[in-house]
Amino acid sequence: MSRLRGWMACMALSLSLAAGAVDITLLPDPVLQERYEALTHELRCMQCMNNSIADSPVGLASDLRREVKEQLIAGKTDDEIRSYMVQRYGNVILFSPPMTSSSAWVWILPALAVIGGLFVGIRIVRRRSQLVDTDDSDVETQDTR
C-alpha cells in the first residue's frame, strides 16, 4: 500500500510540474505576442535540453522567457534576440543551429557512414557471388524422409 501512495505522490508531483510549465505571459500587442511565442518555442531550455523555454517548468526557462519579453518590449528584433541568446549560451540554445565549420562534421559524418556502409555491402555481395561462380564442389542432397 505504501508503494501505491509513493507512486501516487510522484504522479501528483509530475502533474503539478507540468501545470507549472504553462506560460501565461501576455504582451500588450498581438504582433509582439506572436513573436514572443515563436521565439520561446525555438529557444532550447539549457537545463532540460529537450524542451523549449516555452514548455519548460524550470526557473532558468522562466528567466529566459522574461528576458525575451523584456527585449521584445524594448524594441529588439527577433534576430537581435537570437544573437543575444547565442552570444550568452552558444549555438546549443537554438533548436535549429546554423551550419558552421565547427558543426559541419555533425551533418557530414552520417552521410559518409551511409556511403561507406553501402560500399562495404556492395563489395561483400560481389565477392560472395564470385565465390558461387567458382565453387565446383558437389552439392550433397539430403534424404527428406
Domain ranges of the chain: 2-93, 99-132
Say how far apart CA 107 and CA 128 lie, in whole Å: 33
Print burial letters for 102-132: b (CB count within 10 Å at least 16), e (below 16): eeeeeeeeeeeeeeeeeeeeeeeeeeeeeee
CATH of domain 2-93: 1.10.8.640
Say how far apart CA 10 and CA 143 lie, in whole Å: 64
Within 13 Å, how many C-alpha atoms sit on residue 45's CB side? 19
C-alpha cell at 108: 557530414
pLDDT per position as a tens digit, 51-83: 899 998 899 999 999 999 999 999 999 999 999
pLDDT per position as a tens digit, 6-51: 555 545 555 554 444 566 777 788 898 999 999 999 999 988 878 8
Its pTM surpasses 0.75: no
How many other C-beta atoms are found inside a 10 Å radius of the C-beta of residue 93? Answer: 19
